Amino acid sequence: MINMFKSKKLQSVRHGFFGRSGGVSTGLYSSLNFSEKTTDRKANIYANRALVMDELDISDQKVFFPNQQHTSNVAVIDKKTNFEKVSHKPVDAVITDLKGIGVGILTADCCPILAHESESGFILAIHAGWKGALAGICENSLNSLKGLGVDIRKISVAIGPTISTKCYEVQSDFVEGFVKTDSSFEKFFIKKDGNHFFDLTLFIESRFNLFGVYDIDNLGLCTYENPELFFSNRRAYHKSERDFGRMASIISL
């Protein structure tokens, strides 16, 4: 059975944060793997995508997934967009107001963010790992929406399955990199028994708060500590597995 998690903040649009179950992939990718950057069979990935599209009732639509590279780059999809061209550019956030076009991102510990502004009709999907978040992917996304005339204070935001703070231990140089950027960033780290733990979702929420965006629903689902529900990059590394699947988060008008 496919596990799809939804947010009360996005009830007016079709959306879903998907887990790892209900697909056709096997082995390390069992079973709802979405990533073509894995060694999973392409036929499995396409079958998984079809299952998810049916679950969202958008099988007649196109869903655009960007070429995620942990950047701060944002793509706006409109009627003039050349999908072949934009699909090769490094992009970690996608915006559109086109009906019949869904936007999605893939994750396996990083933070999947879906958002909607009902008056303008724009939707947004963001892939935010620590690199992209520190580089400004959330801020750039909001500035892009502002440039399109959107009142960003009216945006509703949902944060899907992400590695939790207690499972996100980091080294001191990681902390130093954040603090050098802004000394106030120290508050996003918890120190326990000499170890540092990073609160990625709280950091991301703070980026939205800077723009006056407070209508945020954090689903509070940890990818690392729920192996039956989610893929996890860090868990795969700790288990010495050679690869891991990626989960989809999709929003569509």
Tell me whether residue 198 is in a domain: no
Three-class secondary structure assignment of 76-89? EECCCCCHHHHCCC
Parts of the chain with a pLDDT under 70: none
Tell me whether residue 179 is in a domain: no
pLDDT tens for each residue of 17-26: 999 999 999 9
- CA 203, CA 184: separation in Å to the nearest integer? 11
Instruction: Name the DSSP class of 251.
Output: E
- CA 204, CA 181: separation in Å to the nearest integer? 15
Tell me whether residue 225 is in a domain: yes
Here the CATH number for the domain that contains residue 96 is 3.60.140.10
pLDDT tens for each residue of 203-220: 999 999 999 999 999 999
Tell me whether residue 207 is in a domain: no
Tell me whether residue 199 is in a domain: no
- CA 74, CA 81: separation in Å to the nearest integer? 13
Between the two ends of the chain, the Cα-to-Cα distance in Å is 25
Reference 33, options 16, 15, 51; nearest CA is 51
Q: What is the pLDDT of residue 201?
A: 98
When divided into structural domains, the chain yields a total of: 1
Q: What is the pLDDT of residue 51?
A: 97
Tell me whether residue 196 is in a domain: no
Q: What is the pLDDT of residue 133?
A: 98
CA 83 to chain CA centroid, nearest Å:
20
Tell me whether residue 174 is in a domain: no
> What's the CA dihedral at 69, 151, 221, 192 to 10 degrees?
80
Structural domain of 122: 4-164+217-252
Tell me whether residue 24 is in a domain: yes
Q: What is the pLDDT of residue 161?
A: 98
